[in-house]
Amino acid sequence: MAAVEVEHLTKRFGALAAVDDVTLKVEHGVFACLLGPSGCGKTTALRLIAGFLAPDGGTIRVGERLLSSRNGVVPPEKRNMSMIFQSYALWPHMTVSENVAYGLRLRRLAKAEIERRVADILTVTRLRAQADRYPADISGGQQQRVALARALVVEPEILLLDEPLSNLDTNLREEMRFEIRRLHDAYRYTTLYVTHDQVEAMTTADLLVVMNQGRIEQLGSPEEVYQRPRTEFVARFLGGTNILRGRRVAEGLVDCGSVVLRCGAGQFGGNEEAIVSIRLHDIDLAADGGRALPVNEATGTVARHVYLGGQRDYLVALPDGQQLRVVTPPAIDIPVGTTVKLRLPPERCRVLPE
């Protein structure tokens, strides 16, 4: 029962540091998500943990065992991990059963035992009917489940997943998300899941690790990271937000031009410039509310209005040119061009360092 410990991990490709001084500890049994945009280093970090790449600096340990360092790397076949690749990497010249049985055959289990375990996992992943078919002849969702079955049948301690759902359509993605989490809960291994999809990350993760340009921006539980983002990047990336730029004029008070905001959350950085983040659905919108109060209220004009069924998405232009996006319940229906009053409650205004 060992934790995965990554310390000061660095990997360079030429002059670029794809992974830059990353430190992370994932306890056994935890479902950790590495979340970030393309090029943030999450896949490189995963491949370093798997042993396909050698680090330029830092170490990777599982429990007491040193797996990777500058001086050498334990090869992937000796790490007792399992991996699901973005392309699934199913072997086209083997049937579904043969694909799944491969790892067990390498471990020299008895034939009867192999057959039993393969049958069990195929039942769990609902692939019994496809057992003798070839990967080219089954659907994308089924291929994904074969990759899952193949990785799980060897009962790994650590499961690595590299954007496994990005090739599936939306409905299937949702179903598989829950499936992956369900299997994690049933078998209790450690999962490291790389994705750029924040919904995927938030619905499956115990530990969310937000990465950007090779570094960890923030880590914590999904709720923690969403409610209390510590940088502009994290606030934008997870959940979308409005960012207002201004000057700090007093304790907790920021002058953003069109509006002065008292901020009830967050922390100032060292300097005068400050950023305020307020989520799209935290702003109150009213068509006619009289004059705006001096603090935490502003007037603007509706520049764009989109109906999305469950909600309405507004773009409101402020007098000084800044724009705010506001999401409201469908009942609030305000046509384009109307003057509106916006209320930005102080407890929803979060100050972030510049």
Partner 1 sequence: MSSAALPRTHLDLSGLLFAGLALVLSALVLLPLGWLAWFGVTDKGGAVTLGNFATLVADPSFVAPFVTTLAVALAVSVLSCLVATPLAWLVGRTDMPGRRLVRLLVMASFVTPPFLGAIAWEILAAPNSGLLNQWYRTVFDLEPDAHLLDIYTVEGLVFVMACYAFPYVFVLAANALERIPADLEDASAILGGSRWHGFRRVTLPLLLPSLLAGALVAFLQAMTQFGAPAILALPAGFHVITTRIWSLFQYPPEPHLAAAASLPLLLLTALLLRGQQWALEGRGYAVIAGKSGAPGRVALGRWRWVVLVGALAVLALPVLLPYAALLRTALVPTASEPLTWNALTLHNFRFVFEEFSATRLALANTLILGLVSATAGSALALVTAFLAARRVIAGARFLGFLATAPAAIPGIVLGVGLFLAYTRPPFVLYGTLAILLLAFVTIELPAAYQQLRSALASLHPELEEASRILGASRARALWQITAPLLGSSVVATWCFIFIGAIRELSATIMLTTADTKLVSVIIYDLNESGDLGAIAVLGIALLVITFVVVAVANSLSRRRGDPAP
CB 350 within 8 A of CB 266: yes
Identity at 204, one-letter amino acid code: T
Q: Please check whether residue 254 is in contact with residue 246, taking contact to mean a CB–CB distance below 8 angstroms.
A: yes
Tell me the sheet residues that pair with 279: 241
Options 17-25, 80-88, 236-244, 321-329: segment touching partner 1 (CB under 8 A): 80-88
Binding of partner 1 at residue 13 (CB under 8 A)?
A: no
182 binds partner 1 (CB under 8 A): no
Out of 38, 77, 288, 294, point to the residue binding partner 1 (CB under 8 A). Answer: 77
Question: Mask of contacts with partner 1, 37-66, x by CB under 8 A?
Answer: -------------xxx--------x--xxx
Q: Which of 51, 59, 57, 63 is nearest to 3 (CA)?
A: 63
Report, in Å, the least distance between residue 104 CB and partner 1.
9
Is 216 a binding residue for partner 1 by CB under 8 A? The answer is no
> For partner 1, what does the binding mask look like between residues 132 and 171, x meaning CB under 8 A?
--x-x-------------x---x-----x-----------
Q: Give the strand pairing for 312-317 and 323-328.
A: antiparallel
Backbone angles phi, psi at 59, to 5 degrees: -135, 160
Question: Distance between CA atoms of 84 and 96, rounded to whole angstroms?
Answer: 15
Select the residue interacting with partner 1 from 14, 15, 38, 92 (CB under 8 A). 92
Tokens (6 digits) for 203? 């619905």
- Looking at 23, 37, 72, 267, which residue binds partner 1 (CB under 8 A)? 72
User: Smaller CB distance to partner 1: residue 65 or 128?
Assistant: 65
79 binds partner 1, rule: CB under 8 A: yes
Q: Of these, 37, 75, 319, 329, which contacts partner 1 (CB under 8 A)?
A: 75
* Closest CA relative to residue 278, chosen from 257, 294, 262, 300: 262
**Per CB under 8 A, 102 contacts partner 1:** yes
The reply to whether 315 sits near partner 1 by the rule CB under 8 A is no
Which tokens is 302 given?
């509706």
Which distant-in-sequence residues (6+ apart) come within 8 Å of 32 by Cβ? 24, 26, 190, 191, 192, 193, 205, 206, 207, 208, 209
Pair type for strands 297-307 and 215-220: unpaired
d(CA 125, CA 148): 8
Q: Which two tokens stand for residue 228?
A: 């209390």
**Of the candidates 16, 23, 37, 89, which one interacts with partner 1 according to CB under 8 A?**
89
For position 69 contacting partner 1 by CB under 8 A, the verdict is yes
| Candidate list 2, 10, 85, 269; residue touching partner 1; CB under 8 A | 85
**How is residue 156 written in tokens?**
């790994």
Q: Which is nearer to partner 1, 148 or 219 (CB)?
A: 148
Binding window for partner 1 (CB under 8 A); candidates: 77-85, 164-172, 250-258, 333-341: 77-85
Binding site for partner 1 (CB under 8 A): 50-52, 61, 64-69, 71-79, 81-83, 85-87, 89-93, 102-103, 106-107, 134, 136, 150, 154, 160
